[in-house]
Amino acid sequence: MPLATKILWSIVGVFGALAYGLAIGGVIRKVMARIQGRIGPPVWQPYIDLGKNLSLRTATHHGVMSFIAPIFRAAGGIGVFLLVPVVIGVPALENFSFSGDLLMVMYFIFFGSLGMALGAAEAGHPHSPIGISRGLAQMSSYELPFALAVVALAAQAGSFSIREIILAQQGGWLHWNLFANPLAAAAAFLAFLGMNMYAPFNIVGAPQEIPVGPPTEFNSQFLSLLMVGRATFAVAKIVLYMDLFLGGAHSLPEALVKTFLIYFWSIFVGAVFPRFRTEQSIRFFLGWPTLAGIAGVLLVIFSH
Amino acid sequence: MKTIVDDIRTRFIVEWEHQQREDLRQIGVRPGTVVPLLGWLKLHSPFVQLTHMSAVDWIEEGELQLTYLLTDPVGMRSLMVCTRIDREEATMESVHALWPQAVTYEQEINEMFGICFPGSPRQGVPFILEGWDDMPPMRRDFDTVEHVHAHHPSRPGREHTDPRAYIGRVFGERGFLHDDD
Amino acid sequence: MESKKLPVLPVSAPPEGSVPHAPLGEGCFLGETQRPKAPKLREALATIKNWFRANSLWVMAYGTGCGSIELRPLTTARFDMERFGLAMRPTPRQSNVLIISGYLAVKSLKRVIRAYEQMPSPKWVVGLGSCTINGGMYWDSYNTINQLDLYLPVDTYIAGCMPRPEALLAGFGYLMEKIKKGEANGWHHYLENLDWYKENQKKVITAWDLPDYNW
C-alpha cells in the first residue's frame, strides 16, 4: 500500500476511533443511568458535549504549557491507536504496526498523562496537582502487573510485535491468550480496571472529592481536545487488549463486539463498587495482580 | 441536675435559676463569675461541651444578655449560663482558652452585637458582613428598613406592610407570640 | 421536552446610550455575538452552535441560598435532568449556566460575580426563586440583595418560594428554547454594559477587592 493511502486510512481510522469512543461514552452514561433507575441522556450526548465545547470561547491564559497539555493528551491517545492493528489481514486497518511496537505502545500509554501533569500544574488550581499526583501514583502501580503480563505474552509468542502475538493466537478461541495464559490475562485485566479509571479506581477525577481533578481549569476547546484524547485513548486501549488477549479481529464487526465486551468489563465493575482511597488502590495493584503477573511469567518459562 | 446547681451555689453566686425543660436548666450569674464558673464546670462537672453561645439585646434595660449553652454529652442534659452586661460598654472576658470553637462565636457576636471580647483572636475580622459601615445589625436600635432602603435598591411595585400592624390584624391584639400563659 | 412558556420579568435596562465596553478588545471576547448576523453561512453556523449549546447545558454546582435544596433532586431518578443533557460541573471554567438559587447575601454576591466572570462565554444566569426577582421573603434583610439583574444579567427567572424541581425543569426548557432562538444574550449584555454593572456591584459590595474583570 502506498504511503499516501496509508496516511489517508490512518486519518479515517483516527476519526473512526473517535466516533466509536464517544459512542461508547454515551452508552456508558446510559448504562449507568439505567442502573441508577434513571432514563439517562441520549447515547449521542458526548457528541453534543463535544460540539458544545467547541462552540464556546475561552478567555483564560495560564501559560504555554497548559495550552500544550491537551495536545499531549490527545497525542497520547492517537499515538497509541496508530500503533495498534485493529483488524488483522486488512492492510488499511492494521495501522503502523511494526516489530517491537508493543514497547512503543507501553511508552505512549504514559505519554499523555505526563504532558497533562505539566499543563495541569501550570493551571494553578490546587485540585489539579492533587489529581495528577494520584493519577501518576496509580499509573506506576498498575503498570507493574500490566508490564509483567506483556512480558509473559512476549515470551510466549517470542516477539514484541503485536502482529506476531495476534498471529500466535490463531486457530480457535482456546488459543487466545485469555485461555492460553490465564494468569497473565488476569493480571492485565485487573490492571485494565485501573487504566480506565472507573470506580473503584476513579481516584483521579474523584467526584465529590477533588471534583474533576486535573482538567479543573481547562475549558471550551481545551476541554474538547481532552475529550478527544480520552475517547481515542479508550479505544486504543481496548483494541490493544483485544489484540493481546482475545486473538485480534478478522473483521470490523468482530472487533466492535470484542472491544465493547472488554470495555464493559470495567463498567460493570465500576457500577457496583465505591471508590478506593489512593493508598488502597496502589496496594491493590501491587498485591494480587502483580502476583498473578509473576505467576504468568513463570508459567511461560516453565511450560516452554 | 439539681445537685450540680447546688454545687455551683456553694462556690458561685447564682442570681436566678429556671427549669426550662426537664433536660435544660438556666442559671443567671454576674459577668465577673462567668469565666471562673465555666472553667469549673468544664473541669469538675459533666457539662464539658460548649454547644452554643449567643446574645440578646435588652434595650429597655440597657443591657445585653450573653448565653453560654453547655451540654453534658453523656447524660444528654444542657445547662444555660446567662449573664447581663452593660449595653454601652459591651465587653466580656473571652472563653476561647477553654473551648477553641468559642473564637468563631465570639467573632460573630462581636460583629452582630458589637460586644468586644478582648484577647480573642479574629475580633473585628469580618465574618459575614464584609465592608459593613453601619452599627451592628442585631442591636435593636439598628433600623433595618432604613439601611435596606439606603443600600439595596429594590424592584418597584412591591408594597410594604408594617409587620407589627399586619401581625396584629391577623392574629389579634397580642400577636401570636404568647408563650407565658 | 414539553416546555411551557414561563412569564419572564423584563431585565432592568442600563441607561440609554451607554457606551459598549471597549478595553476588553475585539478579538478575545466580544468578536462573536449570539445574534445571527447578515451573512447566511454565519447565520446557519450560529444556529448549529446554539443547538449544541442548548442541548448540553452544564450547570455550575453551586448554591447560594435555600433554593439549592431544589437542585439536588434534579439529579435523582425521579427528575433526572441528565436526560436533557443537563449536567452538574464543579468548576466555573466548565459551566455554562449559573443558578442563583434563592437569596443572595452580599458576601456571596462577590463570589458569584467572580465565578460568573470565570465562566467561558456564552454563559447564562438563571434566577431561581422570588428572592432573586424582588427580594422575596428577605426583602427587608440588611445583608441580602433585592434584585439580581442589577448585578448580573439574568436570562431566565423561575418564580416561586421555592419552585419545585418540575418548575426548574420547565425553566431550563424555556432557557433552551431561548438559546436555540439566539435570544439568550445576557452575557453579551453584561459585557456591553460592564461599566453599569460594575457600578452597581461596587455600590453594594463596599469591601471591593476584586480585579476589574476576573478572567
- Least CA distance to A41: which residue of chain C? C83
Position C18 scores a pLDDT of 42
For the segment B105-132, the average pLDDT, to the nearest whole number, is: 90
| Residue C11 falls inside a structural domain | no
Q: Which DSSP helix (H) or strand (E) runs through B29?
A: strand B24-29
pLDDT of residue C97: 92
* pLDDT exceeds 50 at position C26: no
Residue B104 has pLDDT above 90, yes or no: yes
The answer to whether residue C88 neighbours chain B at the CB level (below 8 Å) is no
Q: What confidence score (pLDDT) does residue B65 get? A: 93
Question: For all residues of chain B together, what is the average pLDDT?
Answer: 86
| Angle, helices A101-123/A220-245, rounded to nearest 10 degrees | 160
CB spacing of A52 vs C77 below 8 angstroms: no
Of the candidates C53, C61, C82, the beta carbon closest to that of A38 is on: C82
C86-140: pLDDT as tens digits:
988 888 888 999 999 888 888 889 999 999 988 888 889 999 888 888 888 888 8
| Count of domains forming chain C | 1
Q: What angle do CA C103, C104, C110 make, to 5 degrees?
A: 170
Distance CA A161, CA A103 (A): 9
The pLDDT score that the predictor gives to residue C38 is 60
Element (H, E) at B84: strand B77-86
**A and C touch per CB criterion (3+ pairs under 8 A):** yes
Q: What's the pLDDT score for residue A62? A: 79
205-234 of A, contacting C, C-beta below 8 A: 207, 211-212, 215-220, 223
Segment among B7-21, C26-40, C46-60, C150-164 with least mean pLDDT = C26-40
Report, as an integer, the average pLDDT of C208-215: 81
Query: Any CB–CB contact under 8 A between C208 and chain B?
Result: yes
Choice between A47 and C8, residue whose per-residue pLDDT is larger: A47
Query: Side-chain half-sphere of C187: how many Cα atoms within 13 Å?
Result: 25
User: Is B129 close to C145, i.e. CB distance below 8 A?
Assistant: no
Assigned domain for C30 exists: no
Neighbours of chain B (3+ CB pairs under 8 A): C
Indicate whether C23 pLDDT > 50.
Answer: no
pLDDT at position C98, please? 92
Of C9, C105, C147, the CB nearest to B128: C105
- Asked if the C-beta of C146 comes within 8 angstroms of chain B's C-beta atoms, the answer is yes
Q: What residue of C is the nearest CA neighbor of A45?
A: C85
Within the 107-146 window of chain A, which residues sit less than 8 Å (CB to CB) from chain C?
125
Nearest CA in chain C to A42: C83
Residues of chain A scoring pLDDT < 70 = 59
Residue B83 pLDDT > 90, yes or no? yes
Structural domain count, chain A: 1
**How many angstroms separate the CA of residue C147 from the nearest CA in chain A?**
28
Task: State whether residue A35 sits within 8 Å of chain C by CB.
Answer: no
The closest CB to that of B131, out of C135, C144, C205, belongs to: C205
Amino acid B41: pLDDT: 92
Pair type for strands C58-60 and B14-21:
unpaired
B154–C139 C-beta distance less than 8 A = yes
B133 closest CB neighbour out of C133, C141, C206: C206
pLDDT recorded at residue C6 = 40
For residue C12, pLDDT over 60 is answered with no
**Whole-number pLDDT of residue B37:** 93
CATH number of domain containing C92: 3.40.50.12280
Report the gap between the CA of C204 and the closest CA in chain A (Å). Answer: 27
Give the torsion sign (CA, C21, C23, C29, C30).
positive
Using CB atoms, pick whichever of C107, C133, C140 lies closest to residue B148.
C140
- Which range of residues forms the domain containing residue A131? 3-303
Report yes or no: C150 at the B interface, CB cutoff 8 Å.
yes
Residue C50 in 3-state DSSP? Answer: helix
Query: In this predicted model, what pLDDT tens digit does every residue of B32-75 receive, in sequence order?
Result: 999 999 999 999 899 999 999 999 999 888 899 999 999 999 98
pLDDT of residue C21: 39
pLDDT at C46: 83
Neighbours of A31 (CB within 10 A): 15
| CB within 8 Å: B153 and C150 | yes
- Average pLDDT rounded to a whole number, residues C71-91: 88
C186 Cα to chain A: minimum distance (Å) = 15
In a domain, C48, yes or no: no
Interface size B-C, in CB pairs within 8 Å, comes to: 61
**Confidence at B177, pLDDT banded by 50, 70, 90:** low
In this complex, which chains have at least 3 CB pairs below 8 Å with chain C? A, B
C51 falls within a domain: no
Q: Which stretches within chain B are classed as H helix?
A: 2-11, 31-44, 102-113, 144-151, 163-171
**C145: contact with B, CB 8 A cutoff:** yes
Nearest to C215 among A36, A49, A59 (CB): A59
Nearest CA in chain A to C90: A211
- Do A and B make contact via 3 or more CB pairs under 8 A? The reply is no
Name every chain C residue with its beta carbon within 8 A of the beta carbon of A215.
Answer: 94
- Partners of residue A54 in chain C, C-beta under 8 Å: 52
| CA distance readout (Å), C92 to A34, C28, C70, C184 | 28, 19, 20, 19
Q: Which domain holds residue C143?
A: 56-204
Cα–Cα distances (Å) from B73 to A59, A142, B23, B51, B80, in that order, read: 53, 47, 12, 10, 14
Q: What is the pLDDT of residue B68?
A: 94
pLDDT, residue B171, reads: 64
Q: Nearest by CB to A49, which of C48, C56, C84?
A: C56
* Cα–Cα dist C39/C36, whole Å: 8
Query: A31, A53, A55: best mutation site toward chain C, by most C Cβ within 10 Å?
Result: A55
Cα–Cα distance, A189 to A182 (Å, whole number): 10
* pLDDT for the residue numbered B85: 93
- Chain B residue numbers with beta carbons less than 8 Å from the beta carbon of C131 are none
Question: Quick check: A36 and C96 CB within 8 A?
Answer: no
Class of residue A166 by CB neighbours under 10 A (exposed 0-12, middle 13-18, buried 19+): buried
**Cβ-nearest to C143 among B128, B145, B155:** B128
Domains of chain B (ranges; CATH) run 2-171 (3.30.460.80)
Min Cα distance C6 → chain A (Å) is 24
Interface of C with B in 93-122 (CB under 8 A): 105-107, 110
Please calculate the CA angle A82-A85-A88 and round it to the nearest 5 degrees. 155
Predicted pLDDT at B101: 92
Q: Give the residue carrying C-alpha cell 485480534.
A: A248
Instruction: For C177-194, write each residue's pLDDT tens digit.
Output: 988 888 888 888 888 888
The yes-or-no verdict on residue C20 having pLDDT over 70 is no
> CB-based contact (8 Å) between A30 and chain C?
no
pLDDT of residue C31: 43
ipTM of the prediction: 0.81
Residues C106 and A190: their CA atoms lie apart, in Å, by 51
- What is d(CA B89, CA C106) in angstroms, rounded to the nearest whole number? 29
pLDDT band at B95 (very low <50, low <70, confident <90, very high): very high
Hey, which chains touch A, using 3+ CB pairs under 8 Å?
C
State how far the Cα of A257 lies from the Cα of A249, in Å rounded to an integer: 10
Mean per-residue pLDDT of chain C = 79
pLDDT at B30 (0 to 100): 92
Burial class (CB in 10 A: 0-12, 13-18, 19+), A33: middle
Quote the pLDDT of residue B5.
84
